[in-house]
Amino acid sequence: MPPDERERQYVQFITHFEGNIVKFCTDASDDSYDAQELMQEIFAALWEALPMLRPTSTRQQQNRWLYRVMQTTLIRHLRHRQHRYLTTTAMANTGDDTSQDLLAELLDDLCAELPSGERTIVNDTLKGYSISEMAKRHNTTTAGIKSRMTRIKKKLRKIYDRKYGKQ
């Protein structure tokens, strides 16, 4: 794809889906700085991934594709935040703990503030249960488990930010 055509397609795509991107970043972040940072990462990821989008895609297909790119970018963004926390904690810790031990300790500390039902879902996730297995164990649907997991992640992020400051 010629550079001018790629830029035109990118601007057109961003113009059409900008509201979706802003809403996604706002919902996924606790403050405007983090939302702006995530938005910039998504814009960069879209620029890189745009040649993979078929020009004949419908708006609905483009929206699904956009959502996948945004989810992937969000996961990378959150892992980077987690990595920054672990690096800072590991440098301050003089013991022999590994980053896995630090992560487990951090997660235990954060989960202590969750209700027991939500802690059970976190523990099931750590044990490697699939979504469908967890749905059966908790007598609900897979959509119900996914919804609970999303709420739990947001709660954990808020607890983390309150206890350790925004990273």
Buried b (16+ CB within 10 A) or exposed e, 83-115: eebbeebeeeeeeeeeeeebeeebeeebbeebe
Tokens 């007598």 sit at which residue?
139
Query: Would you state the structure tokens that stand for residue 73, as one six-digit string?
Result: 């970018």
- pLDDT value of residue 160: 83
Q: Over the stretch 22-79, which tens digit does the pLDDT of each residue have?
A: 999 988 887 788 889 999 999 999 999 998 888 888 999 999 999 999 998 888 888 7
Q: Contact, 19 vs 26, CB < 8 A? A: no
Q: How far is CA 29 from CA 15, 56, 81, 154, 166, in A?
A: 22, 33, 12, 9, 11
- pLDDT value of residue 78: 80
- pLDDT value of residue 99: 54
Considering the chain, what percentage of its residues have pLDDT values greater than 90?
Answer: 32
Considering the chain, what percentage of its residues have pLDDT values greater than 70?
Answer: 84
Summarize the confidence of residues 96-123 as an average pLDDT.
78
Q: How far apart are CA 133 and CA 115, in angstroms?
A: 21
Q: How far apart are CA 153 and CA 158, in angstroms?
A: 9
Please name the residue ranges forming H helices in the chain. 3-28, 32-49, 59-92, 99-111, 116-126, 131-137, 142-164
Q: Is the pLDDT of residue 92 over 90?
A: no
